[in-house]
């Protein structure tokens, strides 16, 4: 593990000098919104190559407009396009990159070292191998299209709200795309692929910034698997993770990739999202454990905000930040995207108040723990429930701002 002091030396300090109380506690989302059935049908046709990329996008435009409307009506301050054009949060890159093939875990089984462990994982998760897809580098990876610039431009042209674009983080993309037996011809070692991935993501962030995006979120959920997953176990997120090195080496590599990707970029808020899985509504099959072991590494990353889950006991307590007070912003996971219960504003306000023990109020953003439809075919909630949860967050944020404006005291 890194020593905290050494991590502290590398902190990227980009705190806003002053934030008006009326703008405290911005409400945002992690990214995905449940897709309507007609969009899923279109996505299946696209995957079967029965319709073109452009034909699919024309259909998806309507779904994005609906996702925007839901977020705006729920008083979300920083909105996304609901990731409506994506199959999931990282596999969509196959449409954007050359040299990458979307493979189901069924396809990858023949290349896995330990299929017996993989079978255990599938049974524990209660999922079929064909439903899990991973982009795999089968040749030199080059950009065919921008990863998300087209998504952003459509979003930007249909809202006056601030915007966030989630894109896969460099570690997750590198790890998921490098598969022994398939990738090593083009990239003998994973580090060769990592450099190309960083370059592609970096170009994307710069393009998004120049196009006016306010917030780019780099998704790295697989980092929690590195810390809490079983050794030698392939996962839903990253079939190639079985070839990982020890967790410390992996986390150092993740820091290296992230900092290589974002080096010198300013003028756009950069966040990292790390959760413990969002593929099932069964809490018992999702990873659990606090963020403590990850924090020294996350603090070394030259990013502004940690977008983390804190709505369920699985994520542990906010107290892990006591050694890292006010070092970064927190995107506080405040509602559970997988439950049908709508969190009440009062309980959200209490949790935010707790967060202000470790963060300046200007550093606290409110978001769900994760997306509502991370995987197109397996959304964890319906749009109505997701909307109600966002509404509750919006109400809580409004109450909190008023409380801070009234007396500077957090609500009890």
Binding site for another protein (CB under 8 A): 44, 48, 104, 106, 122-123, 127-131, 377
Q: Which of 59, 24, 28, 25 is nearest to 166 (CA)?
A: 28
Report the distance separating Cα 189 and Cα 183, nearest Å: 9
Distances (CA, A) of 114 to 9, 121, 241: 41, 11, 11
Nearer to another protein (CB atom), residue 318 or residue 376: 376
Please report the DSSP string for 120-185 in residue order: HHHHHHT--GGG-EEEEEEEEEEESS-SSHHHHHHHHTT-SSEEEEEEE-HHHHHHHH--TTTSTT
Please say which residue, 119 or 150, places its beta carbon nearer to another protein: 119
Strand partners, 272: 218, 306
Q: What is the CA radius of gyration of the chain?
A: 20
Is the Cβ of residue 45 or residue 146 nearer to another protein in the bound state? 45
CA-to-CA dists, residue 8 to 5, 88, 299, angstroms = 5, 34, 7
What is the rounded distance in angstroms from the CA atom of residue 397 to the CA atom of residue 195? 40
CA 191 to the chain's CA centroid: 23
Nearer to another protein, 2 or 129 (CB): 129
Query: At closest approach, how far in Å is the CB of 342 from another protein?
Result: 27
Give whichever of 376 and 403 is closer to another protein, judged by the CB atom. 376
Give min distance, CB of 402 to another protein, in A.
Answer: 47
318 touches 353 (CB < 8 A): no
Query: What are the start-end ranges of the H helices in 278-356?
Result: 295-300, 345-355
Q: Cβ 283 to another protein, closest distance in Å?
A: 21
Query: In this complex, which beta carbon is closest to another protein, that of residue 104 or of residue 280?
Result: 104
Nearest distance, CB of residue 129 and another protein, angstroms:
6
β-strand pairing of 162-168 with 97-104: unpaired
- Looking at beta carbons only, is 37 or 160 nearer to another protein? 37
Min dist. Cβ of residue 131 to another protein (A): 7
The residues, ordered by sequence, that sit 6+ positions from 184 with a Cβ below 8 Å of its Cβ are: none
Closer to another protein at the Cβ: 281 or 350?
Answer: 281
Q: By C-beta, is 73 or 377 nearer to another protein?
A: 377
- Least CB distance to another protein at residue 123 (A): 7
CB of 130 to another protein, least distance (A): 4
Q: Two tokens at 260? A: 């290589």
Torsion angle, CA of 291/249/170/94, rounded to 10 degrees?
-110
Give me the least distance between CB of 61 and another protein, in Å please. 24
Taking the complex as a whole, how short is the minimal distance between the CB of residue 41 and another protein, in angstroms?
8
**DSSP β-bridge partners for residue 79:** 163
């Amino acid at each position: 593990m890194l020593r905290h002091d050494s991590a502290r030396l590398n902190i990227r300090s980009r705190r806003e000098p002053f934030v008006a109380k009326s703008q405290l506690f911005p409400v945002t989302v992690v990214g995905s919104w449940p897709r309507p059935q007609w969009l899923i049908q279109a996505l299946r046709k696209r995957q079967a190559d029965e319709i073109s990329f452009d034909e699919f996008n024309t259909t998806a435009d309507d779904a994005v407009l609906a996702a925007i409307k839901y977020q705006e009506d729920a008083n979300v301050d920083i909105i996304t396009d609901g990731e409506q054009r994506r199959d999931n949060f990282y596999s969509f890159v196959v449409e954007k990159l050359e040299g990458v093939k979307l493979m189901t875990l069924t396809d990858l089984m023949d290349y896995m070292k330990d299929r017996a462990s993989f079978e255990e994982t599938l049974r524990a998760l209660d999922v079929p191998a064909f439903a899990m897809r991973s982009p795999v580098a089968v040749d030199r990876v080059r950009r065919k299209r921008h990863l998300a610039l087209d998504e952003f431009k459509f979003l930007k042209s249909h809202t006056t709200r601030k915007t966030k674009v989630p894109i896969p983080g460099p570690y997750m993309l590198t790890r998921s795309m490098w598969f022994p037996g398939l990738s090593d011809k083009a990239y003998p070692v994973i580090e060769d692929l990592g450099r190309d991935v960083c370059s592609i993501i970096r170009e994307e962030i710069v393009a998004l910034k120049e196009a006016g995006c306010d917030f780019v979120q780099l998704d790295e959920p697989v980092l929690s698997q590195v810390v809490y997953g079983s050794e030698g176990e392939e996962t839903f997120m990253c079939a190639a993770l079985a070839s990982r090195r020890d967790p410390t080496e992996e986390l150092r590599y993740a820091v290296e990739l992230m900092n290589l990707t974002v080096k010198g970029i300013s003028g756009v808020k950069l966040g990292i999202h790390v959760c413990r899985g969002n593929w099932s509504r069964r809490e018992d099959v999702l990873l659990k454990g606090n963020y403590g072991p990850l924090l020294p590494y996350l603090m070394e990353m030259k990013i502004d905000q940690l977008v983390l889950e804190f709505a369920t006991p699985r994520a542990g307590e906010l107290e892990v930040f006591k050694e890292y007070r006010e070092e970064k912003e927190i995107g506080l996971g405040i509602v559970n995207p997988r439950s049908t219960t709508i969190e009440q504003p009062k309980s959200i306000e209490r949790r935010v108040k707790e967060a202000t023990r470790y963060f300046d109020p200007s550093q606290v953003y409110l978001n769900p723990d994760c997306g509502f439809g991370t995987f197109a075919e397996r959304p964890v909630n319906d749009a109505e429930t997701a909307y109600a949860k966002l509404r509750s967050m919006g109400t809580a944020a409004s109450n909190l701002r008023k409380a801070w404006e009234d007396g500077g005291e957090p609500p009890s």
